Amino acid sequence: MTTVLVWLGVMLIGGIGSVTRFLVDRTVARRVGRPFPYGTLTVNITGAALLGFLTSLALPKDVSLLIGTAFVGAYTTFSTWMLETQRLSEERQMLAAFANIAVSVLLGLGAVLLGQRIAGLV
């Protein structure tokens, strides 16, 4: 694939990833209706599972770049996770802030492993 096509693909697929993140986050947040950032948690855990799955497949370099970096990179959000954790601590919800960190890391690692296992079955 030419460099120009890869860049265009990253822009397009990254845009799709960010819009998907927005929709998933808002849908989960509306359904749960709690101050804990369940939408971001859902996005990051599903993104970790997807990335674990993708990295376990023998995909061509450009395909891995487009799906892994562009889509999953735009879909998941480390900065929002940190901002929401900071917001919880500013609101003196320290248990929720630490839970957000611990649950995100533990479930994220589990999701990567699950994604890799599922890819092994394909």
- Mean pLDDT (the chain) is 94
DSSP-based three-state secondary structure for 57: coil
Mean pLDDT of 1-28: 92
How many domains would you assign to the chain?
A: 1
Q: Which residues are annotated as a binding site for Na(+)?
A: 73, 76
Read off the pLDDT of each residue in 63-82 and give the average, rounded to a whole number.
92
For residue 17, what pLDDT is reported?
96
What is the rounded CA–CA span in Å between residue 42 and residue 78?
Answer: 12
Range of the domain at 75: 3-120
CA distances from 30 to 23, 34, 78, 90 (A): 11, 9, 21, 23
pLDDT score of 2: 79
Given this model, what pLDDT does residue 1 score? 65
Mean per-residue pLDDT, 96-122: 96
Specify which of 52-56, 68-72, 103-107 reaches the highest per-range mean pLDDT. 103-107
- Residue 33 to residue 54: CA distance in whole angstroms: 32
Query: What average pLDDT does this structure show over 103-119?
Result: 97
| Binding residue numbers | 73, 76
Which residues, at least 6 apart from 29, have a Cβ–Cβ distance to it below 8 Å?
37, 38, 39
